[in-house]
Structure 1
């Protein structure tokens, strides 16, 4: 069994379901980061919070982490899927819940 840091557990406790409608102001400010479904949302939030540049840079480079683009925002508005979010100021990290992502959607 893996032991998690107290910060990981704190972030896990602050992770919550949210609707796209509630995230739109953060998108408009450019403060919304999309986390690919293959990643652990809380692990990514922890790396951002701890300024773990190696991990964050790797995810940014691979496209598994990045700012929400307009085409994705339009898709989320149209579909209104179940999302999870956690705040790591100044960012809000968001991820689509497993099983609700559109097939073939990689935007």
Structure 2
């Protein structure tokens, strides 16, 4: 990672925050919401989008690991109201479902 990329990664990491589906609905309505599969690093994906890394982004899109939020996913998120994590890379908002912490039983 270049110095610029690591600085941008740190900036994006600092801008990543928990968010509710209710707060994301206006972005969904505008078609500006991208879903990032849970096994990917949300900030790494945001960095690739910000730097217009077409090879990485195309790979994730092609594998279905990065996609615009579709109506069926939106309905699922509305019904379940899971913990979400998001970061803005204008004009997009990248969102990912937060992994549940293992229970301490």
Off by >2 Å, runs of 4+ in structure 1:
none
Q: How many residues align?
A: 98
Secondary structure of the corresponding residue to residue 99 of structure 1: coil
Q: CA deviation at 1:99?
A: 2.4
RMSD: 1.3
Structure 2 CA distance for aligned equivalents of residues 78 and 93 of structure 1: 20
- Alignment of 1:90 onto 2:88: no
Structure 1's unaligned 5+ residue stretches are 101-107
Q: TM-score, normalised by structure 1?
A: 0.89
Task: Give yes or no for the alignment of 1:20 onto 2:21.
Answer: yes
User: What are the superposed Cα offsets for residues 29-71 of structure 1, whole Å, 9 maximum, x if unpaired?
Assistant: 0000000001000000000000000000000000000000100
- The structure number with the bigger radius of gyration is 2
Q: Normalising by the residue count of structure 2, what TM-score does the alignment of the two structures yield?
A: 0.90
